[in-house]
Structure 1
């Protein structure tokens, strides 16, 4: 009986693989590719490039199909990354730099969100429903996630403290916060918070709009300070309960490892897939909850609303590893705001950008 059971398992596994491979060997995958090209307005400038992209697309279809045949808590799909290899995706769409002692600001560690025996935390929270979260943004093929992750939590704390939700400028950080961060080549969220504090605030997105490229710092725009923060602090490291306490009070800037294919093609469900703690992507925790006994974080990404669950991913929460899923509890920050925002600036004449 054991031998028969093993044979049946092997046959089922073989059938699953062959079924997925069958799809990539017939006309259906060509039709899928053609439809995908139209949907995402993709144009290749040579036959060689199109052939290369088709092969990558075909391999990704196989990977997605094999995953979705399995009994998993999340699904994968053909999103805008479907013609990118894993290395290309990682190079173009992550960008948070791992914070080491050389680049770490010595900000005062706070016990604001340390865990105490008297703490009673809500079972769930979603800051989107409270009006604290702006629409999902898209960093494009610029490694600026660090800027989006920082701005996301600043927009949120400003709404919590003032009642006004305004969208702020990631581009100002990319262009002007250049002491250690490198724009589209990656950056540090703690330095971004420090920049906003030292500058006395940050401008609106509509006034200093996103371009998805490295630019020169516009001094005129840099002087326009619409929203300010007073400080930023770290969530106690490697402690998901502390992160839960923090997220119950405000959205939190976090760093995760997002370099795997399952993250690349995530479409829906609670992500409990394989990932490590090589932190490379900045995102925002905007809440948490539980579904059918499985705890999760609600995480806002910056890859547009077509990725994941309308721009969000639910990631497994309360796992055995103290670092959390994909290292989500390893490097988490939040802005602190007490004082009112700067006075509304009056229009000023154009000034040259900083070289």
Structure 2
């Protein structure tokens, strides 16, 4: 690890010298590191993190000074990570997701007889815009921490909202930790805790075992042994579908309830506000799952993330319309 840090320092040194690090930037770093309670192993790592921070701060200033950009970026909990570290610690591995996709066909639908009658967008009208937050149908923003468990938050979110909207039940937080611990290969699922997983696997698991509440099975950001033995643990989805990959179909689904969506979040780390369109559309690498809670009059998607309310627009993102960041690829909706 020390060799890697030293090598990185050597590589970043010309950049830092070229930037002519100012007192203002040093003060920005000290304020940020105090705010985020950063403690490093040694002086070498601290120096490396400082230089990564300065590089990210420079990118933020350059991006935000361009009036043509439709979104702004800012400092947050990821600001001392390189893009590669962010992908490694926070996102699901793209090769893992590719592997998952090859084995998910049996999990994409569950009794999908409702698909054509309820969610075929052809000839069906839907609202010009919708935001389930305004209807009190979305739980608070959570923080997955340094654990690639986004898939469990996306799945828990779609079940929470469905239960409130369609079952007229109280809005309660479901346990992401139960999904992290129990939706595992030993139980027949291609999901691997903090290493990544698939929202549809969570729906299949919950349909058989039920999903309990967050207060009964709290989130700890590491995978533990499954602490569920019986098969009567609360909410059980009966049916779900994979939404067809068109904007109209996703909008139609969002008129029913929020939807679990899978995206390429490689460039999301510093997002702060506005309409995000910063993905490389020529090379989409699906690596993150979130909850779509609506869309605006321009067709931009409203997404609930799991990186704390400190990130983005109080934990949310507005994503540019159509298939930005691959959002139309793999979407799941509870129908009963």
Question: CA, structure 1 residues 73+21, in 2 after alignment: closer, same or farther (shift >3 Å)?
Answer: farther
Structure 2: 5+ residue runs without aligned partners? 1-15
Q: 1:115-146 CA distances to partner (integer Å, 9 max, x unpaired)?
A: 122x2211111101111100000000000000
Separation in structure 1 between the aligned mates of residue 299 and residue 149 of structure 2, nearest angstrom: 29
The alpha-carbon deviation at position 280 of structure 1 amounts to 0.6
Separation in structure 1 between the aligned mates of residue 40 and residue 164 of structure 2, nearest angstrom: 43
Separation in structure 2 between the aligned mates of residue 335 and residue 92 of structure 1, nearest angstrom: 29
The alpha-carbon deviation at position 192 of structure 1 amounts to 1.1
Match in the other structure for 1:55: 51
Match in the other structure for 1:256: 263
Q: 1:73-99 CA distances to partner (integer Å, 9 max, x unpaired)?
A: 110000110000001111111227344
Residue number among 285, 303, 309 corresponding to 1:305 in the alignment: 309
Question: CA, structure 1 residues 333+21, in 2 after alignment: closer, same or farther (shift >3 Å)?
Answer: farther
Match in the other structure for 2:325: 326
Higher mean C-alpha displacement, 92-101 vs 36-45: 92-101
Separation in structure 2 between the aligned mates of residue 223 and residue 295 of structure 1, nearest angstrom: 40
Question: Between Structure 1 and Structure 2, which shows a larger proportion of helix residues?
Answer: 2
Residue number among 211, 218, 230 corresponding to 2:220 in the alignment: 211
Match in the other structure for 1:26: 22
Separation in structure 2 between the aligned mates of residue 275 and residue 284 of structure 1, nearest angstrom: 21
Q: 1:15-56 CA distances to partner (integer Å, 9 max, x unpaired)?
A: xxxxx9987621111100100011111111210010000010
CA contact (8 A) 1:299 1:314 kept: yes
The alpha-carbon deviation at position 234 of structure 1 amounts to 0.7
Match in the other structure for 1:228: 236
Question: CA, structure 1 residues 202+94, in 2 after alignment: closer, same or farther (shift >3 Å)?
Answer: same
CA contact (8 A) 1:105 1:191 kept: no
Q: 1:310-337 CA distances to partner (integer Å, 9 max, x unpaired)?
A: 000000113xxxxx00010110001122
CA contact (8 A) 1:153 1:335 kept: yes
CA contact (8 A) 2:208 2:236 kept: no
Question: CA, structure 1 residues 182+27, in 2 after alignment: closer, same or farther (shift >3 Å)?
Answer: same
Separation in structure 2 between the aligned mates of residue 186 and residue 128 of structure 1, nearest angstrom: 27
Question: CA, structure 1 residues 73+224, in 2 after alignment: closer, same or farther (shift >3 Å)?
Answer: same
Question: CA, structure 1 residues 22+163, in 2 after alignment: closer, same or farther (shift >3 Å)?
Answer: farther
TM-score by length of 2: 0.86
- Is 2:239 aligned against 1:240? no
Rg (Cα) greater in structure = 1
Question: CA, structure 1 residues 24+297, in 2 after alignment: closer, same or farther (shift >3 Å)?
Answer: farther
Residue number among 28, 34, 37 corresponding to 1:41 in the alignment: 37
Separation in structure 1 between the aligned mates of residue 301 and residue 228 of structure 2, nearest angstrom: 38
Aligned pairs for 1:1-355 (under 5 A) are 25-71=21-67, 72-95=69-92, 97-98=97-98, 99-105=100-106, 107=109, 109=112, 110-111=115-116, 112-117=118-123, 119-160=124-165, 161-179=167-185, 180-199=190-209, 201-220=210-229, 223=231, 225-237=233-245, 239-260=246-267, 263-276=268-281, 277-290=284-297, 294-318=298-322, 324-337=323-336
Deviation >3 Å, runs of 4+: 20-24
Question: CA, structure 1 residues 53+259, in 2 after alignment: closer, same or farther (shift >3 Å)?
Answer: same
TM-score by length of 1: 0.82
The alpha-carbon deviation at position 61 of structure 1 amounts to 0.6
Structure 1: 5+ residue runs without aligned partners? 1-19, 319-323, 338-355
Root-mean-square deviation over aligned CA pairs: 1.8
The alpha-carbon deviation at position 270 of structure 1 amounts to 0.7
Match in the other structure for 1:347: none
Separation in structure 2 between the aligned mates of residue 311 and residue 21 of structure 1, nearest angstrom: 35
